[in-house]
Amino acid sequence: MAPAAPATAALRSTRLATTVVGSYSVPEWLGRLKTDYYQRRISAHHLDEIHDVAIKAALKDQELAGVDIVSDGELRRDNDIDYLLTRIPGVAIPDRAKTDYYDYYDAEVRAPLPESAGMSPGLAADYAFTREQTGHPIKFSFTGPFSLSRRIRDTGYADPADLVRALARKLNAQARELAEAGADLLQIDEPFLAGYPEQVDVAIEAVNIVTAGVAVTWALHVCYGNRYARPLWEGHYDFLFPAVTSARVDALVLEFARKGFDDLRLLKEHAWDRYLGLGVIDVKSAEVEAADLVASHIRRALEFIPPERLMVNPDCGLRHLPPEVARAKLRAMVTGAAQVRQELGARTSP
Amino acid sequence: MLIDVRPVAKLTGPDPVDVAAVLAPVFTALSSAAVDLARLRVVCDWIQYRHNFYQPVEVRPVLANRPHRAEPGGEQARPAESGLEIAIDMRRCSDGDLAARVARALAGQAGQDGAGHVLLEPWQPASESCLWRFNTLYWQALSRWEEATGREYEQALPGGRSEARDTGAAGDLIRELLRVWDELDARRALPEEIYVAELGVGNGSQARTWLDTFTELDRLHGRDYHRRLHYLMGDYSAHVLDRARKAVAHHGDKVSTLVLDATRPQQTLAFLRGKAFCVYISNVYDNLPTDDVASIRGRPYLVEVRACLRRTDAARIARRYHTRPAELTALVHRLLRLGPDLLAEALPDRFPATSDAVAFWQETWSALRLQERYVPLDGLDAYQVTPAITGEILRPLVEGCGDVRMHVSNGALASFAGTLPLLHPFGRLQCHDLFLTGPGSYLTGFHGPGKYDGSVVNWVNGPLLVLAGHRRGFDVQITPLARRPGGHVKTLTAQVRD
């Protein structure tokens, strides 16, 4: 397998580059096997092998669908929070039993996190495995410090913002390791931020701690939640602006397909001059969008942002969709993007 | 040989059931029966429903393989059996010679398939049986049934309705909603339209209590949420809806009524997706179709049933309505298709008046019995509980109980899973019904089906709904009714967690 092509170069050279947000469909049988692991029916070794196979299949699905920038589908992760929290020294998880793998642990921080200790095991090995399996450019995503902090009972910090900052420093160390391993498109996911709009400044400050000194292309994904394919919050993206303009990221990846495209105006109003990851696929509905509909969404976005700065992706992760639906939605997304690309003229060469 | 005595609560106390008196005649019968005792299960239940679908002694084959579907009109070879179950109703087995009954039941099972009965349908999962068409007919032609019996259907229910008139419980819920709405409003996140829905409306007393209480509390609260409120009443029966509507007539256009199928709420209420702050469901789930699954010696089985009439009952009914027993099956299905009014119009010689067709309906329903057999499943995941949920959801419940037979509550689960997406992120589902609270309940008692008037009742597999809600990100609690903590009817509440 040829080494993965740089994602950053793909982004720059491809108008309307198609990608995913992160997670990929978790079939029922895989969910069952994951739960079997937590109930001690299969070993960690067997589960690792199962994950290896599942990730290879997820990559193949994305490649066959024609997605330009692929991900490992976050298939090793039990959920968006615990996979990271269990690796952070100083985060206490008294009870590690789960009746279902997707449940959240009850996590607690009783004292300031030890600054010297890194996350163990780190995320770079996950990226390295993915890189061995595909020649496509790769996006690697992880949950951001603000959302991680919302799942921790914090008795260790006088100011809750200090926990967010401490988590950000841990993630910054991870980002450095990922960059060293070759990752060049990293994405911070903040699925809980929309529920705490008054704390957007702290969240953005923490994002800047994560990205500091890591010379990759950075994306920030903010949605309204996708836990169990349900929105956790409702509202609009007004709260993100203008704070997010001070985030040291190269791309904003936002949810539009489910909620509508009215918030695109915010990008113009606040002169967003970086990339936009445009959510064109509703991941909370099993109804497969027509490629024409995807194309119309993209055309609408082009009224606010030029094609050179537009990425095309689903609203959020695909984990809750059945595999056949996820595949069909990705195909529709790729076809819709290709339609608009054709309308715009020949694909720009590097 | 395995003996399973389920009603353990009746084996102790001042007046315990004499198990030896039940089992001794069974063993007497078995001593001379040509049955492989090593593959036999004797299951003793206490069927508390005076009107039910079973004989005091039933024999049920446990099939070795899934049988092939018979060609229409073709003969079907008797499927191979890997075991046999003798089911005894301990409440009724003391009437007469139990040993002789067991011997007859075994002989009947070993003889020609279906002998001694008029079969109304082929073997199929219970949720597809014609007994549910009887149930549907009951709600569609409820006024005819009530005219014949001289009483309203609520008088036949197990008393769950009185909770609907509990202004204290309604007030607590409404105060909580007002608090949530204030918070959302402060963040400009409260929708302009506020929806509350009720599925299964009874006589309208729940809606009246809720709306009267809401109007008063909202007035005191002073934010005029009443202006934004829409109360939707949904029911399968237009007759019930009309009656309930009168109870809330003084709330005018705040209330809308919708005829809907509770097992597919989104078919009618898709516009509510993510918008309902409260959905209330009372005494609906226990009346929706269900299959049974069983785990026998570690293997999963689906219980298949076929509705039938005993020859003696069939002969009596046929005689009264000037037909032959062999023609009864077609006549019953015509009744289920047409209803009593049109049946009387179509066959005036047999049913001179609608009341005669209703009497035929009631007699047939009263005599209706179910034969059962256990059919192996290729895997729980190969069985669809609902079109969107596989039997995989049952695994934690079935695997944790050893040999067990339990309701799948297909209709209730479809309704529940279809209702959850209607809830606003800060909404809640509240449900009063006959809920079992643990899968172990299936090891210690009989929980349906039974007959309530012309309808079917099954206790609801509460742990299954809890699990399904949990897998969808909801915190689901089943608690005793506040006003009647010792009663069978319980409250299920579902809210978004995490």
**In-domain check, residue B319:** no
Q: Is residue A348 predicted with pLDDT exceeding 80? A: no
Check if B274 contacts A (Cβ < 8 Å). Answer: yes
Residues whose CB falls within 8 Å of the CB of residue B367, separated by 6 or more in sequence, listed in order = B309, B310, B313, B314, B317
* Mean pLDDT confidence for B67-81: 68
Check if B395 contacts A (Cβ < 8 Å). Answer: yes
Tokens of A346: 């020949």
Q: What is the DSSP string of B55-93?
A: -SEEEEEEESSPPPPPPTT---PPPPEEEEEEEEETTTT
pLDDT tier at A3 (50, 70, 90 boundaries)?
low
**In-domain check, residue B466:** no
Give the per-residue pLDDT at B451: 95
**Between chains, do A227 and B473 touch, taking CB under 8 Å as contact?**
yes
Q: Is residue B160 predicted with pLDDT exceeding 50? A: no
Task: Tell me the pLDDT tens digit for each residue of B242-269.
Answer: 989 999 999 999 999 999 999 999 999 9
Check if B188 contacts A (Cβ < 8 Å). Answer: yes
Q: For residue A147, list chain B residues with Cβ-Cβ distance below 8 A.
A: none
Closest approach of chain B CAs to the CA of A235, in angstroms?
Answer: 6
Q: Where are the domains of chain A?
A: 7-344
Closest approach of chain A CAs to the CA of B468, in angstroms?
Answer: 11
Chain B's closest residue to A197, CA to CA, is B187
* Mean pLDDT confidence for A180-195: 96
Chain A's closest residue to B423, CA to CA, is A230
CB-based contact A122:A83 (threshold 8 Å): no
Partner residue facing B473 (CB), from A28, A228, A235: A228
Could you tell me whether strands B474-480 and B489-496 are parallel, antiparallel, or unpaired per DSSP bridges?
A: antiparallel
Q: What stretch of H or E contains A52?
A: helix A44-65
Give the per-residue pLDDT at B71: 54
Q: Is residue B360 predicted with pLDDT exceeding 50? A: yes
Check if B183 contacts A (Cβ < 8 Å). Answer: no
| Cα gap A253→A276, rounded to integer Å | 6
Partner residue facing A231 (CB), from B187, B188, B274: B274
**In-domain check, residue B354:** no
Q: What would be the CATH architecture of the domain defined by A7-344? A: Alpha-Beta Barrel (3.20)
**Between chains, do B496 and A104 touch, taking CB under 8 Å as contact?**
no
| Cα gap B49→B51, rounded to integer Å | 5
Check if B498 contacts A (Cβ < 8 Å). Answer: yes
ipTM summary value:
0.78
* Mean pLDDT confidence for B294-300: 93
Chain A residues in contact with chain B using a Cβ-Cβ cutoff of 8 Å: 28-29, 32, 99-100, 102, 104, 197, 227-235
**In-domain check, residue B189:** no
**Which residues, listed in sequence order, are joined to residue B119 by a DSSP beta bridge?**
B308
Residue range of the domain that includes B3: 1-113
Chain A's closest residue to B189, CA to CA, is A235
pLDDT tier at A239 (50, 70, 90 boundaries)?
very high
Give the per-residue pLDDT at B73: 52
Q: Is residue A2 predicted with pLDDT exceeding 70? A: no
Check if B192 contacts A (Cβ < 8 Å). Answer: no
- Name which of A54, A10, A3, A2 is nearest A217 in CA terms: A10
Give the per-residue pLDDT at A124: 97
CB-based contact B343:B351 (threshold 8 Å): yes
Give the per-residue pLDDT at B483: 72
Tokens of B69: 């579907």
pLDDT tier at B155 (50, 70, 90 boundaries)?
low
Give the per-residue pLDDT at A349: 45
In percent, the amount of chain A with pLDDT more than 90 equals 86
> How many other C-beta atoms are found inside a 10 Å radius of the C-beta of residue A93?
13
Chain A's closest residue to B472, CA to CA, is A228
Mutate to test the interface with B, among A234, A259, A282, A324 (most CBs of B within 10 A): A234
- What angle do helix axes B19-31 and B98-110 make, rounded to 10 degrees? 40
Residue type, B41: R
Check if B379 contacts A (Cβ < 8 Å). Answer: no
Give the per-residue pLDDT at A98: 87
Give the per-residue pLDDT at B68: 76
Among A281-290, B343-352, B398-407, which stretch is predicted with the lowest mean pLDDT?
B398-407
Task: Tell me the pLDDT tens digit for each residue of B476-488.
Answer: 999 998 777 778 8
Q: For residue B424, list chain A residues with Cβ-Cβ distance below 8 A.
A: 234
Task: Tell me the pLDDT tens digit for each residue of B90-101.
Answer: 999 887 899 999
Task: Tell me the pLDDT tens digit for each residue of B216-234.
Answer: 999 999 999 999 999 999 9
> How many other C-beta atoms are found inside a 10 Å radius of the C-beta of residue A147?
25
**In-domain check, residue B18:** yes
Residue type, B485: P
**Between chains, do B425 and A28 touch, taking CB under 8 Å as contact?**
no
* Mean pLDDT confidence for A308-323: 97
Give the per-residue pLDDT at B156: 61
Give the per-residue pLDDT at B487: 81
Give the per-residue pLDDT at B163: 54
Task: Tell me the pLDDT tens digit for each residue of B164-194.
Answer: 566 778 898 999 999 999 998 887 789 999 9
Could you tell me whether strands A17-18 and B81-89 are parallel, antiparallel, or unpaired per DSSP bridges?
A: unpaired
Chain B's closest residue to A224, CA to CA, is B425
**In-domain check, residue B331:** no
Chain B's closest residue to A285, CA to CA, is B421
| Cα gap B202→B168, rounded to integer Å | 19
* Mean pLDDT confidence for B10-25: 90
Check if B402 contacts A (Cβ < 8 Å). Answer: no
Give the per-residue pLDDT at A350: 42
Closest approach of chain B CAs to the CA of A151, in angstroms?
Answer: 9
Task: Tell me the pLDDT tens digit for each residue of A12-27.
Answer: 888 999 999 999 999 9
**Between chains, do B421 and A230 touch, taking CB under 8 Å as contact?**
yes
| Cα gap B326→B49, rounded to integer Å | 29
Angle (nearest 5°) at CA B149 between B147 and B151: 80
**Between chains, do A232 and B498 touch, taking CB under 8 Å as contact?**
yes
Give the per-residue pLDDT at A64: 98
Number of structural domains in chain B: 1
Check if B400 contacts A (Cβ < 8 Å). Answer: no
Partner residue facing B498 (CB), from A104, A231, A233: A104
Q: For residue A32, list chain B residues with Cβ-Cβ distance below 8 A.
A: 392, 395
Check if B399 contacts A (Cβ < 8 Å). Answer: no
- Number of residue pairs across A and B with CB atoms under 8 Å? 38
Chain A's closest residue to B389, CA to CA, is A28
Partner residue facing B473 (CB), from A29, A99, A230: A230
Chain A's closest residue to B185, CA to CA, is A235
**Between chains, do B471 and A100 touch, taking CB under 8 Å as contact?**
yes
**In-domain check, residue B72:** yes
Q: For residue B187, list chain A residues with Cβ-Cβ distance below 8 A.
A: 197, 235
What's the pTM?
0.88
Mutate to test the interface with B, among A38, A150, A230, A285 (most CBs of B within 10 A): A230
| Cα gap B300→B293, rounded to integer Å | 7
**Between chains, do B473 and A235 touch, taking CB under 8 Å as contact?**
no
DSSP B486: T
| Cβ under 8 Å to A: B residues 425-464 | 425
Chain A's closest residue to B391, CA to CA, is A28
Q: Is residue B137 predicted with pLDDT exceeding 80? A: yes
* Mean pLDDT confidence for A192-219: 96
Mean pLDDT across chain A? 94
